[in-house]
Amino acid sequence: MKMPEAITNDIRRRLSARWHADLSGVEQAFPHRFPLGRPTAADLRQDYAAIHSKTVTWQDWAHIHGVTLEYTNRAAQGGTTQAVPTHARIDSIDHAAAVVAGDWLTRLVRGRERLDVVRVRFPEVADAGRVIRMIDNYSEVDFELLLAAADWYLTDPSRATAGITPRQVPIPGVHAKWLQNHGAGVRALTGLDDLGLLPNHPSRIHFTYLDPEHRASGGRIHDSATVDDAFRPAYEPEIVVISENKDTAIHFPPITGGISVEGGGSGGRTLAAFDWIRDASVVVYWGDIDKEGLEILNGYRADFNRDIDTMLMDVATYDEFERYGTNHDKHGKLIIASDPRPVEQLRADEKNLYLRLLRPQLSGHRRIEQERIPLERAVACINTIRTQTTSG
């Protein structure tokens, strides 16, 4: 037999998946009967006291939350017949929200208010419930900007073929990043497949030449390149160091045949677009020792489709430099224990460190910033990796 916590999770899942359809009348998600599970006949005969204790727990929970329990009569210990709860009935979407608690009641109130506005102002919207779900996390300011942007496009549909940048759209209060981040909502309200906006400019990378002979020749030290542009670096690198910290990338010590590249933060697709980076003999990623840094490393290996090396992102380095760590992220927010993500691209030692950093009982810091580790250590690691690669 399930316990109330498990059924509450079942209610939350159904509510999360179907609340918008219920509000809009597309689907009636509630009332709904949630099965509690069925005790075995052996349990009822041998230890009915345990079943009775669970029944009392269910009755107390149902009384607190106004939930109706359904029962069935079962043969129990001593030849008796006992009423055993089988289902918990949730009468409505508001009832479900009250049981689940959190911000659900507020979300439903907000959803109904916005649904009324959308239906009045945009009666042609085919699935208003889907729109309400899409904009559920919009602030009131964002919602008002959404309405203004949709009105602007529908006033003159030819605006959707104007071919302008998001920054050039003349809607009061609507800036480029807002339109880029909320374009899906505008399209959903207007029914337009395309808002007539020019694509984002191609991604760019910034990098530093590390080869001492090149630097001594008077050539440029810092450079940049644009994806899909015709470009070759001053020399084809033998080794590429990808550093998530800009200062580390810029000030990395000289390395023969080396280039240090500023990382992209979330993954390696931009850097992997450059064959002189992707196909270098040695590619090394170096980031912070924290959950995010190891997840980024995992993403780089997937995007590069090769086993990129890394340095100073292992258990031994963590143990050595942990005293210089922090429990706050780069935005000053406290880092807390969390569930791991799929990180199949991490090597065994890296994954052990990743899981260690996520443990609720971790006694050390959850983050060691890259710049707390001396660059001389990084150079020594690079030389070791280069030697191993050459000898291999």
Residue 325 confidence (pLDDT) above 90: yes
**What does DSSP say about strands 239-243 and 282-286: parallel, antiparallel, or unpaired?**
parallel
Q: Average of pLDDT values for 299-306? A: 92
- Which pLDDT tens digit goes with each residue over 40-91? 898 888 888 899 999 999 999 999 999 999 999 999 888 889 999 999 999 9
Using the predicted structure, report yes or no on whether residue 313 has a pLDDT greater than 70. Answer: yes
Q: What is the pLDDT of residue 69?
A: 96
Percent of the chain with pLDDT over 90: 78
How high is the mean pLDDT of the chain? 93
Q: How confident is the model at residue 167 (pLDDT cuts 50, 70, 90)?
A: confident
Q: Do 184 and 134 meet the contact criterion of CB atoms below 8 Å apart?
A: yes
Which CATH code fits 204-391?
3.40.1360
The phi, psi pair for 35, rounded to 5°, reads -70, 140
Q: Within 13 Å and on the Cβ side, how many CA atoms surround 244? A: 25
Task: Say yes or no to pLDDT of 201 above 90.
Answer: no
pLDDT value, residue 392: 62
Q: Round to whole Å and give the CA distance between 5 and 217.
A: 69
pLDDT beyond 80 at 266: no
The pLDDT of residue 161 is 76
- 366-390 pLDDT, tens digit per residue, is 999 999 999 999 999 999 999 988 7
202 vs 22, more confident = 22
State mean pLDDT over 301-317: 94
pLDDT at 330 over 90: no
Query: pLDDT at residue 25 above 90?
Result: yes
User: CB of 309 within 8 A of CB of 283?
Assistant: yes
Which one, of 163, 125, 126, 161, lies nearest residue 146 by Cα?
A: 125
Residue 157 has pLDDT above 90, yes or no: no
Higher-confidence residue of 194 and 317: namely 317
Domain boundaries, the chain: 4-100, 117-190, 204-391
Integer angstrom CA distances of residue 360 from 90, 204, 314, 320, 382 = 34, 39, 19, 21, 33
pLDDT given at position 159: 83
Residue 199 has pLDDT above 90, yes or no: no
Q: What is the mean pLDDT of residues 23-32?
A: 94
Assigned token pair, 353: 């460190």
First to last CA, the chain: 58
Q: Which pLDDT tens digit goes with each residue over 225-255?
A: 999 999 999 999 999 999 999 999 999 999 9
Q: Any idea what DSSP says for residue 198?
A: P
Largest distance between two CA atoms of the chain: 97
pLDDT digits (tens, 9 = 90+) for 343-352: 999 999 999 9
When pLDDT is averaged across residues 307-333 and rounded to a whole number, the result is 94
Distance, in Å, from the CA atom of 76 to the CA atom of 62, rounded to the nearest integer, reads 23
Task: Please state which of the ranges 95-99, 181-185, 205-209, 372-376 shows the lowest mean pLDDT.
Answer: 181-185
Residue 265 has pLDDT above 80, yes or no: no
